[in-house]
Chains A and B, each alone.
Chain A
């Protein structure tokens, strides 16, 4: 377990490697070439959306990747991340000292905004608005616990600039006959301290480190799973630098891991994507129509 300050300083340290334009193009071309035939063999059905949870599911429980999904219904676990991130953001901006102080006002403000304008920042506002006090307290409690883990995992005074906390998912749609979308959802995008680029031809201006929070333990394949978030970010915005590193936090286990992103790391993550899509394709073919 790294000390909080050391962990944070390591997160924002100058990039140790960069991925130049050619390398990036090679990764993309290789991924597209390997995914296209897999996707072409998919039986008709819902689009395939690859995410970090699916990557894990395909590795640990491949037989379940084609299982029909339960109809969506809101529950506290679905709110805790987005509300927790809003709470951490409010704390990082100095509005509140701690998640416990922030959670009530942040949730109430979101609900009030929705009631006044109809605008749903988080999508859960109508559900939370309709909850009885006891149920609402459970939602807030879940978010406090989640936010407290993230808030206390980093030394926020180390950041020169405020990280992007939450925000839109990174998404990339593979040019293939059937819809295949890669989705990355880092919790934080942290600007790095500017430093000398390892590759002078590459620009590191605006380079970020990503932070990912997960439940449970770091799995054996944590390097590829963390690098997956950088892969999606790099595919999504070719004009932006590839994230320099990804820090993974597993608060339940008190564990953290970090992976530096270079071409090899992206290639390994792409391997996992290909294996995951192959598992989905196989499972979907095995399901009787």
Chain B
């Protein structure tokens, strides 16, 4: 099955670019693009305006770099980096123990559960182990921002899949209602008092309107899929990297990168979002023949689109960061004391006064 690759401009069909033949050899007509009407809205200070329609897609497609090729040796090297990150050398765990950091597997009985590494766990453990131990990896408390993010995730998914959004709050809450993991959040939203609920509604409607106006219909031939699960295990299954990507566009890679990964954020731009993207790129590079050619964050609040072409350097840096975080998570799972070092965030730490003592 050949499908159009999203990186290549549609006007230059080639062997790997044109519409894919149907199973019987016929060619299907192109879907008409969704008309996009964008009012001219300039940024108050810079004259900047969000990308929309084809321009938004072009920003994803055209990275200015060659697409990464399928190189099994690169994937092997990344795996070696991750695995070697778990080898105990006494330096990364406070010299607490010697021997392999990976829990021993038992030949009899059920296999041990892997240590899960998600983007949030990675960011939090790398920020401060002590905070992480005190605060745990539990769900974040409900807030208007969290609710807005969940509703926008649902609405973005709806827009990609069915091409339209009706009443944003109504559709968003209906979407949350069929998700077991979100039923508590839905109840929380429905229990909001008038002003808070109106505040949430206004923001969700504003952001949904931006999605409608700026996001063009994605060509079905690009196999757009939402909330795709990525999972990679290493160290004999002792560690599992896992992510769920808001939008994956492009046929699965064969000889070269053909996939774009997009994360949608309803809040403000934060520095760790870039690292999240790089983790996604690493996961895709490890599970597929070739890395994605681009990873991007779309900020539905502002319409900003942060795009990172995927390079070897990006993947190597992501593997290093992931290896370091995974090592600490494995250590904590084994009961190793958290490393308590003062850092720039300590002054704003909410748990510090309640008993966490800093060393040094």
Judge whether B160 and A141 touch: CB under 8 Å: yes
Does B252 make an interface contact (CB < 8 A)?
A: yes
Q: Indicate whether A123 reaches chain B with its CB closer than 8 angstroms.
A: no
B274 to chain A, nearest CB (A): 24
In the complex, residue of chain A having the shortest beta-carbon distance to the beta carbon of B113: A60
A179 within 8 A of B: no
Contacts of A220 in B (CB 8 A): 111, 237
- Contacts A60-B111, A134-B174 hold; do A97 and B223 have CB atoms under 8 A apart? no
- Which of chain A's residues have a CB closer than 8 A to the CB of B286? 254
Please name all residues of chain B whose beta carbon is closer than 8 Å to the beta carbon of A133 when the two chains form the complex: 158, 162, 166, 171, 174
The reply on A126 being an interface residue by CB < 8 A is no
Q: Mask for B24-50, Cβ within 8 A of A = 1, else 0?
A: 101010010000000000000000000
| A76 at the binding interface (Cβ < 8 Å) | yes
**Contact (Cβ within 8 A) A152 B228:** no
CA–CA, A3 and B26, complex, Å = 24
In contact, B1 and A134 (Cβ under 8 angstroms) = no
A101 and B178 CA atoms in complex are apart in Å by 23
Q: Do residues B254 and A3 form an inter-chain contact, with CB atoms below 8 A? A: yes
Q: Given the complex of chains A and B, what is the CA–CA distance between A7 and B13 in angstroms?
A: 27
Count of B residues near A, CB < 8 Å? 54
Min CB–CB distance A133 → chain B (angstroms): 5
B3 within 8 A of A: yes
Main secondary structure of the interface of A (DSSP, over half): helix
A98, A103, A152, A255: most-surrounded residue (chain B CB, <10 A): A98
Contact with B161, one of A1, A131, A144, A151 (Cβ below 8 angstroms):
A144
Using Cβ atoms and an 8 Å threshold, which residues of chain B touch A153? 252
A148 sits at the interface (CB 8 A): yes
Bound-state CA distance A149–B23 (Å) is 17
A103 to B160, CA, bound (A): 12
Residue of A nearest to B72 (CB): A1
Judge whether B287 and A254 touch: CB under 8 Å.
Answer: yes
B221 within 8 A of A: yes
State which of B1, B221, B226 has its C-beta within 8 Å of the C-beta of A141. Answer: B226
User: Are B288 and A254 in contact, CB atoms less than 8 angstroms apart?
Assistant: yes
Is B225 close to A, CB under 8 A? yes
Q: Is A138 an interface residue (CB 8 A)?
A: yes
Known A100-B220, A138-B154: A144·B1 in contact at CB below 8 Å:
no
Contacts of B240 in A (CB 8 A): 217
Q: Is A76's CB under 8 angstroms from B179's CB? A: yes
* Minimal Cβ-Cβ distance residue in A for B159: A137
Report Cα–Cα, A94/B24, bound state, in Å.
7
For window 200-243 of B, CB contacts with A under 8 Å fall at 218, 220-221, 223-233, 237, 240
Residue of A nearest to B22 (CB): A94
Across the interface, which residues of B come within 8 angstroms of A135, CB to CB?
Answer: 174-175, 177-178
**Nearest-CB residue, chain A, relative to B164:** A133
* CB of A253 closer than 8 Å to a CB of B: yes
Residue on B nearest A137 in the bound complex, by CB: B158
> Are A100 and B110 also in contact (CB < 8 A) when A76-B179, A157-B23, A215-B229 are?
no
List residues of A (199-230) whose CB comes within 8 Å of B's CBs: 215-217, 219-220
Identity of the chain B residue whose Cβ is nearest the Cβ of A8 in the assembled complex: B1
Q: Which of B282-309 contact A (CB under 8 A)?
A: 286-289
Chain A residues with a Cβ under 8 A of chain B? 1, 3-4, 59-62, 75-76, 91-94, 97-101, 103-104, 131-135, 137-142, 144-145, 148-149, 151-153, 155-157, 215-217, 219-220, 252-255
In the complex, 8 of the A-B residue pairs with CB atoms within 8 angstroms, ordered by the A residue number, are A97-B22, A104-B162, A137-B157, A138-B157, A144-B226, A157-B23, A253-B287, A254-B287
Q: 8 shortest A-B CB distances, which residue pairs?
A: A134-B171, A254-B287, A134-B174, A137-B158, A132-B174, A100-B220, A98-B220, A134-B175
Since A133-B158, A134-B172, A137-B157 are in contact, a sample of 12 more A-B pairs with Cβ atoms closer than 8 Å, ordered by chain A residue number, is A76-B179, A97-B22, A97-B28, A97-B221, A134-B170, A135-B174, A137-B175, A138-B179, A144-B225, A151-B223, A220-B111, A252-B231
